[in-house]
Structure 1
């Protein structure tokens, strides 16, 4: 039976007692699609989409904190540019949000975010940029789920394979320093692994890719959103079993970002 989230004055953890952890990862493309006169603001539609995911934990990439030029451009539109950062704007009612900047540009900045209906611990960030043309980072947030502390890392890796390999090495160093050995762990995000070559390096870290035992390949491909071919968006796990994977599809999802969201359902192993 699908879970229904209702507004409440109580902590989110008082509502959900399922032993299944529902996790989503989604590259939102900074809430904007198109170029030139066809550029359009999608952040308001993304707010509806994020809520519809009905996930306990939502890992987001390419999230704007602010952008002066885009805000000015879209001030003339019907809904306008949100006053708060996109992480706070997208968080459904009752969810906590965490955000850290990866890239600072001329007009603004963007990074990774985590939204959770469960309480958050101390938020951390680690720069894994491999060269000056791509600013990349890891967002680390412990989440208190059903009395268990689950460490969640939101990642956005580089466009070059050699960079991604080095970023896996930096991820390893970060995990050894910041995450207790054996603690339940999720590393989710956009890995840009077009050639499917990160499996071995990630397994060497003790991380298994979340793939449902009976899942079909089309339940994992997320890019490009109009006709998905590549499984760039993933969840790697330690201390969990994957029960199911799902990729929402349709014209509305294809419109909002160049990626589709990936949803996985997990249980502790």
Structure 2
């Protein structure tokens, strides 16, 4: 697939921090004999976003079965982990595992064109059937330390509320209250019920463009998006604009679309 198929997002100024969050569905789509490898197209798409910071969920470090299956395809399964593979030239990457399965594992990742600080990870699993975690990485953006937390919450609302509480405890212990913070990821909040606990427990406001249309936050399912599962929550930062890239190329790569936000310090 050509890079031009993804289009190009609008440019942003030097005083603007562009953040993207994207659930990449482990780099594959489809079931059975129709299962296809999308990790190479995802690399082109992520580069086209031109984001300073890219927060990724459902990222693999390895998966033995899929590696064997796609080893003989034209481009093949990447030799390195997906976070490192997807990082555009000049970007740093960080990855931590959330879930371990029989053939491999997956977790959260962060890609950044700015220097990274110490990488932290915090388990917020609510029960043994869903392994969930937080990836925490400070990013040094234009001499300002911005804390970035990549999250992937559970499928049950009560679990998500408890995960907000654990997130609040982690932030209180690990993030200085006077430093900018963003928490981005797939929150699985189908009923739009997490904004209040995220504000009351964590002091975080959801990133919304001042005059943004609703279709600029809907990300799931990717072919006909009707839910805003992918979000960015902020403290010490202001949202200037949000955008959700659309089109056939984006719809085929993952069941989610990426969400972008242009931010500036308050």
Query: Normalized against structure 1, the TM-score is what?
Result: 0.94
Quick one: distance in 2 between partners of 1:32 and 1:17? 34
Quick one: distance in 2 between partners of 1:83 and 1:55? 25
- Does the CA-based 8 Å contact 1:17-1:146 persist in structure 2? no
Quick one: distance in 1 between partners of 2:143 and 2:98? 31
Q: Which residue of 1 aligns with 2:122?
A: 126
Q: Deviations over 1:200-231 (max 9, x none)?
A: 10011110000001100000000000000000
Q: Which residue of 2 aligns with 1:6?
A: none
Residues 1:247 and 2:247 aligned together:
no
- Does the CA-based 8 Å contact 1:208-1:237 persist in structure 2? yes
Q: Which residue of 1 aligns with 2:53?
A: 57
After TM superposition, where is structure 1 displaced by more than 2 Å over at least 4 residues in a row? none
1:2 to partner: Cα distance: 5.0
1:3-18 aligned at under 5 Å gives the runs 3=11, 18=14
The correspondence for 2:254, drawn from 252, 257, 263, is: 257
Structure 2 stretches lacking a partner, 5+ long: 1-8
Residues 1:232 and 2:229 aligned together:
yes
* Secondary structure of residue in 1 paired with 2:51: coil
1:248 to partner: Cα distance: 0.2
The correspondence for 1:219, drawn from 213, 216, 219, is: 216
* Secondary structure of residue in 1 paired with 2:116: coil
User: Aligned pair in 2 of structure 1 residues 217, 59: CA closer, same or farther (>3 Å)?
Assistant: same
Q: Deviations over 1:81-104 (max 9, x none)?
A: 000000000000000000000000
Residues 1:156 and 2:152 aligned together:
yes
Q: Which residue of 2 aligns with 1:28?
A: 24
Q: Deviations over 1:37-90 (max 9, x none)?
A: 100000000000000010000000000000000000001211110000000000
Structure 1 stretches lacking a partner, 5+ long: 4-15
* Secondary structure of residue in 2 paired with 1:79: coil
1:17 to partner: Cα distance: 7.2
Quick one: distance in 1 between partners of 2:86 and 2:110? 10
Q: Which residue of 2 aligns with 1:12?
A: none
Q: Which residue of 2 aligns with 1:114?
A: 110
Residues 1:104 and 2:100 aligned together:
yes
Q: Paired residues, what number?
A: 257
User: Aligned pair in 2 of structure 1 residues 161, 199: CA closer, same or farther (>3 Å)?
Assistant: same
1:173-188 aligned at under 5 Å gives the runs 173-188=169-184
1:183 to partner: Cα distance: 1.1
Q: Deviations over 1:148-197 (max 9, x none)?
A: 00000000000000000000000001001110112100000000000000
Residues 1:169 and 2:165 aligned together:
yes
Q: Deviations over 1:116-168 (max 9, x none)?
A: 00000000000000000000000000000011000000000000000000000
* Secondary structure of residue in 2 paired with 1:126: strand
